[in-house]
Structure formats: structure tokens, C-alpha cells
Amino acid sequence: MDPQLSPTTFVQQFKTETWRHTLLFSFQSLGVIYGQLSSAPLYVFGTVHQKEFVSEETAYGLFSFIFWTMTIISLLKYALLVLRADDDGEGGTFALYSILCRHAKVGLLPNDTSANEVMQYEEENPFKAKVESRARRAIAKHKSSHYLMLFLALFGACMAIGDGVLTPSLSVLSASTGFGRSMSSITFSSSEHKQERVSRALKEYVPVPTACAILVCLFMLQHYGTRKIGFIFAPIVIIWLLFISGVGTYNIIRWNPHIFYAISPTYMYRFVVDARAKGWRSLGSIILCVAGSEAMFAGLGHFSKKSIKITFVCLIYPVLVLSYAGQAAYISKNYTVDGFNHLSESVPRHFRHVFVVLSLFASAVGSQATITASFSIINQCLALGCFPRVKVIHTSDKIHGQVYIPDINWLLMVLSLSATLGFHDIVKIGSATGLAVVSGMLVTTCLMSLVIALYWENNLIESVCFLIFFGFVEAMYVSACMLNMHKGAWFLVVLFLLSFTVMLSWHYGTLKKYEFDLENKVSIEWLTDLSPGLGVSRVPGIGFIYTDIVTGIPAFFSHFVTNLPAFHQVLIFVSFKSLPVPCVHPSKRYLIGRVGHRDYKIYRCVVRCGYHDNSRDSDDFEEEIIRTIGEFISLEENDFESLTSPEGRMIVVGKPTSDGNALVPRIDSHSFVSPESPPIFTNNENQRSPIAETSVVKKRKKVRFMLPPNSPKMRVCVREELQELVDARESGTAYFLGQSHLRVRNGSNFLKRFLIMTYTFCDKNSREPPVALNIPHAALVEVGMVYTI
């Protein structure tokens, strides 16, 4: 049997084959992943209140914290340990959660437990667990642990989204502040008083409008995709890193060559002993030095593990240490100068205008990492049923993790502009950003410790040591950030409550709808045996019935047949099932089976998708399904078990090739089909609805099917069934979709009512299911159902 590899796995293997590809992706990663880490020197010291620097020892203590925080968290935790816990080449909070869902059975995702034989991915997965450990059995047994892990995954996703809102605002506003200071230094006037007034006005009023303009331009660039943005931004990051490393080296030599003595942990101890509550609060700004470390892990879907690790260890880490050391050396000797903690003040006067230009570009690049991570996280949440329907555009045909989400992009832009205009202060925005960064890291630590114990099956002591060591460091920074709650960190809490409420309510509503469908489905016998007594007739054509269940007949279709006793001569029940894996290999994507006897011509197609697959957005999805059914018919004659077994026995059919063994597609250059052709219930293929006649739509070529040249050698029953499928396609196609309306039972508690109300609101204002499935509107039959939850 072929190994179960995802498309992303193939890409990862391709990336690591040669050093040429490693260097190429290392170059691209600079502009996408490491922008935030590289631009952090703009605001780490700048977000610390100037009054906190009371002596030279303060600069030594803060630099010691920066050095060890970068070493422990960025280098040791992420670069050396967390990057190893990839999910078939994908990273991030939900990647860890999906690993636990598969290997520790803690998933709460909607799934039909009666069809485990059909949907059980682990049976074909080469990473299948050998023997369940005691810890895995205990966690799988207790439902509360499942909810806790889902909460951690959603919490981490919310922190990533909050980081995607706040970091662009903080990074760009920090650079714009330097721009305002530079503008004020070149003003000239005959009156010293007037010059001072103009200088003060430039410092006060220039940064915010400049930052807003840069933010708008940055978010407008997102639709070009990760690859193009990486090539554009990478040279900027390289120049920026060379510049700040040069400035850092100059400041070390010029101001304080002994600054590297601060690497000793003794200076951290002195700082903690001497610091009061206000001094401890400044650590909430210091944690920003590792902002962007989570992007290394979340960006695994965009680049190879080797390229990310080499770039950080060989370039990013040493350059940033030099930069922070140089800035600390300058501060230690100039902490009485106005604005001494801004990076622009430590730059030699002759190069400040060059610095201003570079910092503006670097700040835009620094925001890219969090925006990219937000797209990846939301795409994963969407596939796993934890986020409302939005349009996802895959910007690369080769790397499935590179996505762009227009709706989220504009929402992030609006929220980021709101934070910039509302706070217009990098100290307040930095407080919220620091809390988002360290909270996301703490979630990764918790999930990673579980992965070590349950997936890697290492000694439980190793898992506990990982949790205690890194958890203690991050909890220390969380306590410092909490002291800044009234100084801007409250904004992150508001963002968290909004995003978490949306995710939780959507997951809850989706789960309850699925449970309702399972409880109210009807048996196959009702359709095949009892429906003739209702006077049901079969009409020419193919009917696609989209449903979430993989066994039985959905309630909305039985409701339709009861009120309108007719359905097509060929019925195909289509179900999309999201699996907790990045991608499902095309050879394992489709599961095809029959519903009832062979003469009924009713089929079931289960489309298995990973959280980075884009099967639903394929324009030729209908053609793929029909060709897959044809492959199933030709393969079934050799699978005698499927011919005699009850429903649930299905055959894995790969994505059909252009020279299939069952049906051969051909494009009719003289015939076009409109994307909005109506439902067809007669043989009149030219019959159209008034809406379709008046609509101006984009037409596409119609794909017809024919039997292969070797069809005479087929068995008669197989050839006849394939011909009936071809004839049904020629007669027309209709799509059946259940339109659900959730209603809460009387007497339900407030929390349940609130979640259902939120779900209903999101459902009405998110992307419609027909659009998400690319269903032609005029060919759509929506059947309304009331779900009493």
C-alpha cells in the first residue's frame, strides 16, 4: 500500500533535498516569519517608561533579561524543541491540538461515531499509535480534559489573532514615532520659540497619520500571497539586520564595551531584588523581544523546518543580541537624555535619516509575520469547525499552507487602525501586545508538554520538566503583563472575549446541529422501500445532496421527498469531513459507496479534507465527483465484499486522472454551461428560469463524459451503469442543501441561549453555504428545517 503522505509532506521533502532549496526558503522566511523578531528592537526598550531607568544597573538588568529570554524561549524552546512537533509539516497551536486529537483521542470535532470504519483516519495513518499508555487512556476517558484542550487551542488561536491586530499597530507606530522625531530635528525657524512649537507639533501629530497610511498599504498588499511578499520583504529585512547590527557594534565600542558582563544571571537577580511593582511591570515590555518566536512554529506550513532553524541560529539570534547589547550600552550612559530609550536616539546622528527610512519599511515587514500567522490559524479553525464560514484563497499551488483570507484581512486592518487611533501610544499598545505574546507561548507550552507525553511517549518526567521550566518563565512574564492591565492590556481582553465567543458559539452550534442530524436521520429502507408507496417518481438527471452525516438519509431530504414526491434517477449524497491533519493525499481523498441496492442508483461520496485542503473551492468539483463515481463502479466488480455488505462499506478512490478507466472527460467547445443553470427535473436541457435569463453571469465550458475505448471489454452491467451515469449528467444537475434554523428549547439556560443566538447571528452574516461550496444559485434547492436545540 502506498504510504499515507500529505501534499505538504512532499513539499517538505522537496525543500530539504538540496541546500539550494534550503537557502531559497531561508531567504523568503526573512520577509515573512522573522520580520517581527527583527523589528522588535524598535519598541522593546521604547515601551519601558523612562522613569524606570534609575541607574546604569537598570540597563544591565533589562539586557540580562532580554538575553536569557531570547536564549531560553526563542532558541531552546522553539528553534530546538517545538519545531520538532510538526503535524506533517504544519505548525501552530491547532497543529498541536490536531496531533492530540488523533493520538490521544481528545477531539470534540463533529463526527459520526456510527461510521468509524468509514472515517477512521488512524487505521491508514503510518503514525498510528502502538499501544495506548496509561496517561493516554486516562485522558481519553475523562471528558473534562477534552474540553480543557479545546479551550487551550481556542485560547491560543485568539491570542494569535490578537497579536495579528496589535503587532502591526505597535511596530508601525514605533517607526512612525522615530519619523516624527527626525522631522522635528530638521525644522528651522527664525524664532526659537516657534521652532520648538513646530518641533513639538511634528512629534505629536505626524506619527499616527503616518502609521495609519502604512498600515493601509500593508494590508492591501496581502492578496499577493506569501511567496511574492517574501521576495519583496526579504531584502528589506537583510538590510535592516545589517544596519542594526552595525549600530549595535558601534554603541558597544563607543559607550560601554563591558555591557556583555550583563549576560551573567547575577544582574537579573539584582534587578528582581531591587525592583518594586513598577520595575517588575517593565518586564511586560521585555517579553516583546521574543515576539515573533511563535511565528517560527506557525510558519512551518510556509517553509521547511531546516530553513527556519538555520536562519534563526545563524543570523537572527546573533544579530539581535548585538542590537540589544548596543542599545543597552547607549542607555547605560545616557539615561538622563530625553528620549534615550528610543532606538533612533542610539543611532549616530549622520545615519538617523537612513534609519528612519529603513525603520518604516522594517516595521511594515515586522507586521507580516503576525498577519500570515493569523491567516493560517483561522484557516485551521475554519476547517475544524471552530470559525464562521469565510472565503479562503490559496495563493500557492505547491505549498498548501499559504492562504489569504480577504474578510479577515480587512477586519484585522480595521482593528489595527482602531488601536493606533485609540491609543496613539506605543507604551499602551505594547502592554497589550506583550500579554498576547506570552499568553500564546504559555498555551504552546501546555500543549507541547502533552505532545511529549502522549504522542512522543517520552517519560512523563520529561513532560513535567518541560512544563515547569518553560511554564515558570512564561508565567513570570504573565504576572508582569497583568500589572499593565489598566494601561492598555485590557484591549487584548476585549479582543479575546469577542473572538473566543465567536469561536465557541460556532463550534457549539455546529456540534448541536450535527447531533440533531444524527438523531433525526431516516433509514435507507424509508427511501428505497417505503417511498414507492408515496407515489415517488424518478426524473432524469443527477441530484447532489449535501449533508454532514455519512450514514442514513438526512432529515431535510426526507422532508423534501414527503412534500414533493420526486427525485432524480441518480442520487449522490456528498459529505465533507474535516480530519485533524494538514492535508489528505489525493489517492485517499474520496470514499465511495452505495446506498441500497445497485438498481437504485444511489451513491454516497465522503470527501475527506485536511485543514489546509481546498477541495470545496474547486471549480471542477462536480466533474471530479462524477468521474470518481465512475471509477467506483468499475472497481466495485472486483470488490465482492462491498457488493454484499450493508451500507457503510466504502471504497477509497483517489482523485481521478485525465485518462481514467471508467469515464473520459471531454470539453465541448460548442456548448457552454452557466454557473447559474436552474434545477433540472425534465429532459428539456434548454429550459431556463426567468432569473437565469435576466442574469448576466460568467459562462464556462461544459465538460461532457464518454465511455473509455475499452468499454466493450467491460461487464455488461458495469457498462450499462456507466452509460446511465453519463446520460443522467447530460439531462442536468440539481443541488439539495438543508437550510437550518436553530431554535432554543423553552427553559434553556442563559448560556445556551446566548451561544445559539451568537451562532445564528454569525451564520446569517457569514459566507453562505452555496457560495462556500461553489453551488450555482439557480440550480440550488434549499430545504428549510427548524432545529430545536
Per the CB < 8 A criterion, the answer to whether 671 and 702 are in contact is yes
> What angle is formed at CA 106 by the lines to CA 129 and CA 137, rounded to 5 degrees?
60
Residue 682 pLDDT exceeds 50:
no
Q: Name the burial class of residue 532, with classes exposed (0-12), middle (13-18) and buried (19+) by CB atoms within 10 angstroms of its CB.
A: exposed
Strands 393-394 and 537-546: unpaired
Give the pLDDT confidence score for residue 339 in this predicted structure: 76
Residue 196 pLDDT exceeds 70:
no
Segment 561-572, tens digit of pLDDT: 888 888 888 999
Percent of the chain with pLDDT over 70: 77
Per the CB < 8 A criterion, the answer to whether 171 and 367 are in contact is yes
Q: Which is nearest to 380 in space by CA: 589, 763, 94?
A: 94
Q: How many CB atoms within 10 Å of residue 650?
A: 24
The model's confidence at residue 132, banded by pLDDT at 50, 70 and 90, is low
Q: Alpha-carbon distance 324 to 319, whole Å?
A: 9
Q: Alpha-carbon distance 738 to 549, whole Å?
A: 12
Give the pLDDT confidence score for residue 20 in this predicted structure: 78
- 263 compared with 372, residue with greater pLDDT: 263
With cell 496517561, the residue in question is 135
Give the pLDDT confidence score for residue 497 in this predicted structure: 95
Q: Which three cell numbers stand for residue 117?
A: 470504519
Q: Alpha-carbon distance 360 to 432, whole Å?
A: 22
Residue 684 pLDDT exceeds 50:
no
Q: What contacts 1, CB < 8 A, 6 or more positions away?
A: none
Q: Name the burial class of residue 597, with classes exposed (0-12), middle (13-18) and buried (19+) by CB atoms within 10 angstroms of its CB.
A: exposed
Q: Alpha-carbon distance 758 to 740, whole Å?
A: 15
The enclosing H or E element of 175 equals helix 143-185
Per the CB < 8 A criterion, the answer to whether 628 and 604 are in contact is no
- Across 713-727, average pLDDT: 82
Q: Which is nearest to 680 in space by CA: 568, 574, 563, 603?
A: 568
Segment 339-379, tens digit of pLDDT: 788 888 888 888 888 888 888 888 888 787 788 888 888 88
- Concatenating the DSSP letter of every residue in 18-44 gives -HHHHHHHHHHHHHHTSHHHHHGGGTT
The strand pairing partners of 572, in sequence order, are 544, 603
Per the CB < 8 A criterion, the answer to whether 249 and 322 are in contact is yes
- 466 compared with 597, residue with greater pLDDT: 466
Q: Which residues of 696-715 are buried (b: 16+ CB within 10 A; e: fewer)?
A: eeeeeebbbbebbeebeebe
In this structure, what DSSP letter does residue 125 have? -
Long-range contacts of 758-761 (CB under 8 A, 24+ apart): 758/501, 758/502, 758/505, 759/505, 759/506, 759/508, 759/509, 759/510, 760/509
Of 132-141, 462-471, 485-494, where does mean pLDDT reach its minimum?
A: 132-141
The model's confidence at residue 177, banded by pLDDT at 50, 70 and 90, is confident
Give the pLDDT confidence score for residue 135 in this predicted structure: 67
Q: What share of the chain is helix, strand, coil (3-state, %, to 5)?
A: 65, 10, 25
Q: Which is nearest to 394 in space by CA: 589, 227, 220, 221?
A: 227
- Could you tell me how far CA 391 lies from the centroid of its own chain? 12
Of 281-295, 307-321, 701-715, where does mean pLDDT reach its minimum?
A: 701-715
Q: Alpha-carbon distance 139 to 412, whole Å?
A: 36
> What angle is formed at CA 345 by the lines to CA 75 and CA 435, rounded to 5 degrees?
45
Most confident of 245-254, 296-305, 636-645, 696-705: 245-254
Residue 199, amino acid? S
Mean residue pLDDT of the chain comes to: 79
Sign of CA dihedral 681, 687, 688, 689: negative
- 582 compared with 119, residue with greater pLDDT: 582
Q: Alpha-carbon distance 760 to 741, whole Å?
A: 8
Most confident of 133-137, 411-415, 555-559, 737-741: 411-415
The enclosing H or E element of 594 equals strand 590-594
Q: Which three cell numbers stand for residue 743?
A: 431554535
